[in-house]
Amino acid sequence: MAVPSRVQSLMRFLIELFFIFAAVFLSTSAIAQPFYVPSGSMEPTLAIGDYLVVTKYSYGYSRYSLPFDFGLVASGRLLSSLPNRGDVIVFRLPRDTKVNLIKRVIGLPNDRIQMRDGRLYINRKIVPIRRDGDGGVEFGDGREMQAARYEETLPGRVAHPIYKFRWNGDLDNTREFTVPPGHIFAMGDNRDDSLDSRVAMRDGGVGFVPVENLVGKAHAVVGSYDFLNMGWPTGWLTALRSDRSFTVIR
């Protein structure tokens, strides 16, 4: 007995709808996902209001790589690979895994990290910097302050910008941290205004980041909106930062 054409059409529609949904879900959940930058801790690399594309496959998959916990892995990662020093990453805050943070990878397992007089040491060797002008640091309340800009070169010749206001702040002199196996050490490029691995979890900071908590690697800024200074309503269009759109994150 032949299946009525209406039933065939409905079945075809449902199958096509399933594959469309699966493709959209895969592309936004398992391959890449957009993220928004709410703070200035990664200035000058990232600005408040940047929208990023973060690839999920870069370091493998964990329960934090997808928006829903499907129970694929109870802990650890599938197809796991470590990030490189200098990668800009999105990860789940270890003390509150509902919160996503974005920082730069500074230390890998067994690395020794320390700040002395505002300078970064990795494995007891000072990380070179060079002066690269000045820049305006934006705060969450709309204030802006000038800071010295430097180019820092991590081991492996990974160069990236940082901001420094001073050399004797609370986070400019630390103990020597030894990164445990299965963890990384992450810091913000805005060194004097970043709550990161330099501050322990018990003190309200980030501490060492378990590799399991990695969500993905930030690759590009796809758009940026200066909502802090957009005004009302005439400044809405001028608040679009076209010069930051479609730029690669380094």
What pLDDT is recorded for position 68?
A: 55
Instruction: Show me where the domains of the chain are located.
Output: 5-248
pTM of the model: 0.82
9 is catalytic: no
Residue with tokens 């020093």: 85
Digit-coded pLDDT (tens) for 102-112: 999 999 999 99
Residue-wise pLDDT tens digits, 46-96:
999 899 999 988 898 888 876 555 555 556 667 678 999 999 999 999 999
Which tokens belong to 57? 């496959």
Give the pLDDT confidence of 12-42 residue by residue, as tens digits.
555 554 444 444 444 455 566 778 898 999 9
Decide: helix, strand or coil at residue 130: strand
Q: How confident is the model at residue 224 (pLDDT cuts 50, 70, 90)?
A: confident
39 is catalytic: no
> Tokens in use for 16?
């096509």
**Strands of 129-138's sheet in order across:** 129-138, 144-154, 158-164
At a CB cut-off of 8 Å and minimum separation 6, what does 234 contact?
none
Does the domain at 5-248 match CATH 2.10.109.10? Answer given as: yes
Residue 168's pLDDT band (boundaries 50, 70, 90)? Answer: very high
pLDDT tens-digit readout, 169-218: 989 999 999 999 999 999 999 999 999 999 999 999 999 999 999 999 99
Catalytic residue among 56, 103, 164, 217: 103
Dist. CA 12–CA 20, nearest whole Å: 12
H/E element, 39: none
The one catalytic residue among 39, 41, 62, 197: 41
- Taking only the tens place, the pLDDT of each residue in 144-157 is 899 999 999 999 99
- Count CB neighbours of 13 within 10 A: 10
